Amino acid sequence: MTNHLFDTLFAGRAESDTPFLICEGCETLSYRDFFGMAAQMAHGLVALGVEPGDRLVVQAAKSAELVALYVASVAAGAVFLPLNTAYKDDEVGYFVEDAEPRLLVVDDSAAARLRPIAEGVAARLLTLNADGSGTLARAAEDKREVFQPVPRAPDDLAALLYTSGTTGRSKGAMLTHENLASNALALTDLWAITDRDVLIHALPIFHTHGLFVALGTAMAAGAAVRFFESFDLDAILDALPDATLMMGVPTFYTRLLGSPRLTRERCADMRLFISGSAPLLAETHRAFAERTGHAILERYGMTETGMNTSNPYDGTRRAGTVGRPLPGVDIRLTDPETGAEVAPGGVGMVEVRGPNVFNGYWRMPDKTAEEMRADGFFVTGDLGRLSDDGYLSIVGRAKDLIITGGLNVYPKEVEDVLNAAPGVAESAVFGVPDADFGEAVVAAVVPAPGSEVDAGALAAAVGEKLARFKHPRRYEIVDALPRNAMGKVQKAVLRERFSSR
């Protein structure tokens, strides 16, 4: 048996001397160098006792070594679980307890704090710092630069990515070798990515977009990757003349448009700009095309499914739509109440079926059953509309998810923290339109009878518990929350009331 994901996406690259990762302030790694490093790490993982199917939880800064750890994890047959670097210890603790990994890999500065968490599930703790140093590097050094990937079937798990639920606990989406391999191959083909491409990569790599879409397609094609720690406007503008391809969240594009340095000449050698993870305003699409001559290609996907639809490479990229289903992917729209397919042109819940659709939620068969239909369609929670010629538009999110700067905030998680703060009766957290971040997080808070709450105290409570991107930008103190006849909080009313402030 072969290692399905490794053989499909990576195997052809290991002998190539062409550049892979071109980092700021570090040596460029060729594909051969990179796969040598990944092989050493895979030997290191095996020596540390990692067996096929073991989980590997990683919270570490974006680095070439972190990418190598992902590839090593695939080669060793492990299940890779990258965590947002902004997560606080309590949050990391939940993921570790839920996933029960063999290894927990964190930055040196967090090691002492997180060691008890690792010990609680009998996991070993290793360190990986932003510069690649740490005990993981030590476990890999002196190892052979060739590793025979362990056999893994298409249905075996390759990654576990957590996607917070709207009603409580975060869910681990189980992604198989075939999910990741099929999706990366489909996109590489659709977007015509080749070894002549130079990809600007400024996305985080703990998320499906930066890890599986951007790096997966680049590796499948043998493209070079300009690897940025984060989105630094001037650095990205400097990189544009020597690049051919960029993948980003809408915020990247609004920021680029904010700079007079973004010109047609600067983008003359660019082949393709791709956007996803949150809605790209039609206005941004038009302004970008006017300024640069490039029509941004918007696509749509999610943690559980990878990419589902894409605007065409050759053909009309329609602003405000996310394009057509990828080859092999079926999309249908259903009535959220009845599950029946909606009439053509109507708005319905987006359901997806295909080789990209995940294998269910980790240790949550009930949640999986709720969102997976008997005929294999996954209920995404997004509301959409299909045009006559099959272009999908996302018109809203049934799940009330807030997407701020491309990162997801689930209101319930923030509400739980606020509701536990002294003097708070209840709260509702929602998103309002924001020119820079797409949406901004706002909290409406009702004080307990006879109590007073102030925004500073609420911010302090949230600051202790949650990653920064989840913090409300504004606190609105209100007498009561608007509710419908069924007692549900009407977030649309709140959004409308507090949007214009």
Q: By C-beta, is 303 or 368 nearer to ligand AMP?
A: 303
Q: By C-beta, is 9 or 278 nearer to ligand AMP?
A: 278
If binding is defined by CB under 6 A, does position 249 make contact with ligand AMP?
Answer: no
Alpha helices in 152-275, H assignment, sequence order: 177-190, 208, 216-221, 233-239, 250-257
If binding is defined by CB under 6 A, does position 458 make contact with ligand AMP?
Answer: no
If binding is defined by CB under 6 A, does position 382 make contact with ligand AMP?
Answer: yes
CA pair distance 151, 164, nearest whole angstrom: 31
User: Which among 78-86, 358-366, 401-409, 417-425 is the span making contact with ligand AMP, rule CB under 6 A?
Assistant: 401-409
Q: By C-beta, is 115 or 367 nearer to ligand AMP?
A: 367
If binding is defined by CB under 6 A, does position 59 make contact with ligand AMP?
Answer: no
> Is residue 156 a contact partner of residue 77, using CB atoms and an 8 Å limit?
yes
Tokens standing for residue 101:
């990994």
If binding is defined by CB under 6 A, does position 311 make contact with ligand AMP?
Answer: no
Q: By C-beta, is 292 or 303 nearer to ligand AMP?
A: 303
User: Which among 69-77, 147-155, 229-237, 298-306 is the span making contact with ligand AMP, rule CB under 6 A?
Assistant: 298-306
| Binding-site member from 65, 298, 413, 439 for ligand AMP (CB under 6 A) | 298
Q: By C-beta, is 401 or 444 nearer to ligand AMP?
A: 401
Q: By C-beta, is 38 or 322 nearer to ligand AMP?
A: 322
Residue 464, class by beta-carbon neighbours within 10 Å (0-12 exposed, 13-18 middle, 19+ buried)?
exposed
Q: By C-beta, is 160 or 224 nearer to ligand AMP?
A: 160
If binding is defined by CB under 6 A, does position 367 make contact with ligand AMP?
Answer: no
Q: At its nearest, how many Å lie between ligand AMP and the CB of residue 148?
A: 33
Q: By C-beta, is 114 or 379 nearer to ligand AMP?
A: 379
CA pair distance 180, 116, nearest whole angstrom: 33
- DSSP letter for each residue of 427-484: EEEEEEEETTTEEEEEEEEEEPTT----HHHHHHHHHHHS-GGGS-SEEEE-S---B-
Q: Find the helix packing angle between 282-292 and 250-257, rounded to 10°.
A: 50
CB neighbourhood size of 456 (10 A): 9
The three-state secondary structure class of 417 is: helix
| Binding-site member from 294, 397, 412, 495 for ligand AMP (CB under 6 A) | 397
Q: Which of residues 1-40 bind ligand AMP (CB under 6 A)?
A: none
Q: By C-beta, is 250 or 355 nearer to ligand AMP?
A: 250
If binding is defined by CB under 6 A, does position 279 make contact with ligand AMP?
Answer: yes
Q: At its nearest, how many Å lie between ligand AMP and the CB of residue 469?
A: 12
CA pair distance 429, 408, nearest whole angstrom: 13
CB neighbourhood size of 457 (10 A): 15
> Is residue 333 a contact partner of residue 380, using CB atoms and an 8 Å limit?
no
Site mask for ligand AMP (CB under 6 A), range 152-191, x = bound? -----------x----------------------------
If binding is defined by CB under 6 A, does position 303 make contact with ligand AMP?
Answer: yes
CA pair distance 130, 232, nearest whole angstrom: 17
| Binding-site member from 63, 84, 176, 208 for ligand AMP (CB under 6 A) | 208
Phi and psi at 102, nearest 5°, equal -75, -40
Q: Which residue has the tokens 């010629």?
A: 389
If binding is defined by CB under 6 A, does position 413 make contact with ligand AMP?
Answer: no
How many residues in total does the chain contain?
Answer: 501
Residue 226, class by beta-carbon neighbours within 10 Å (0-12 exposed, 13-18 middle, 19+ buried)?
buried
If binding is defined by CB under 6 A, does position 371 make contact with ligand AMP?
Answer: no
Q: By C-beta, is 10 or 300 nearer to ligand AMP?
A: 300
Which residues are at the interface with ligand AMP (CB under 6 A)? 163, 208, 276-279, 298, 300-303, 322, 380, 382, 394, 397, 401, 403, 408
